[in-house]
């Protein structure tokens, strides 16, 4: 069964300004851009950097440490030095709140 966690209100996440959270002990970075919401694992796959401290542009988040880029929708690497995708989590909006699912298909 899919378990959803209510993690924030939609108004708590500003456009293109990441929000870092811990959900069930898992670091999660929330994003909203162009009216869509995304949740990524809040740790760069290249090093010890929080993506919630990164910069959002063009549908990607730029890691604050070495400026690697990840696609917000898929987690795929979009610019060096990152080569490994970051995990993404499902997001849904219920009654003005953001809910995420920590389960993945992996
Ligand atoms: S730690 Fe993120 S690009 Fe190096």
Which atom of ligand 1 approaches the CA of 51 most closely? 2
pLDDT, tens digit, for every residue of 14-59?
Answer: 999 999 999 999 999 999 999 999 999 999 999 999 999 999 999 9
User: Measured between alpha carbons, how far is 89 from 9 in angstroms, rounded to an integer?
Assistant: 17
Q: Would you state the structure tokens that stand for residue 96, as one six-digit string?
A: 């003005």
Q: Is the CB of 50 under 6 A from ligand 1?
A: no
Confidence tier at 104 by pLDDT (50, 70, 90): confident
Q: Is the CB of 68 under 6 A from ligand 1?
A: yes
pLDDT, residue 61, reads 98
Nearest residue to 88 (alpha-carbon basis) of 17, 23, 29, 11: 29
pLDDT, residue 105, reads 60
Say which residue the tokens 């999660």 belong to.
Answer: 28
List, as one string, the DSSP characters of 85-99. Answer: PPPEEEEEEETTEEE
- Ramachandran angles phi, psi of 45, nearest 5°: -80, -5
pLDDT, residue 1, reads 77
Domain 4-101, what fold?
A: Rieske Iron-sulfur Protein (2.102.10)
User: Measured between alpha carbons, how far is 99 from 81 in angstroms, rounded to an integer?
Assistant: 31
Percent of the chain with pLDDT over 90: 94
């Amino acid at each position: 069964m899919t378990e959803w966690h209510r993690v924030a209100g939609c108004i708590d996440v500003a456009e293109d300004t990441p929000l870092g959270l811990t959900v069930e002990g898992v670091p999660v970075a929330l994003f909203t851009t162009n009216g869509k919401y995304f949740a990524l694992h809040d740790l760069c796959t290249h090093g010890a950097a929080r993506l919630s401290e990164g910069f959002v542009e063009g549908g990607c988040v730029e890691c604050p440490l070495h400026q690697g880029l990840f696609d917000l929708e898929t987690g795929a690497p979009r610019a060096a030095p990152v080569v490994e995708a970051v995990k993404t989590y499902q997001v849904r909006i219920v009654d003005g709140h953001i809910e995420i699912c920590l389960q993945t298909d992996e």
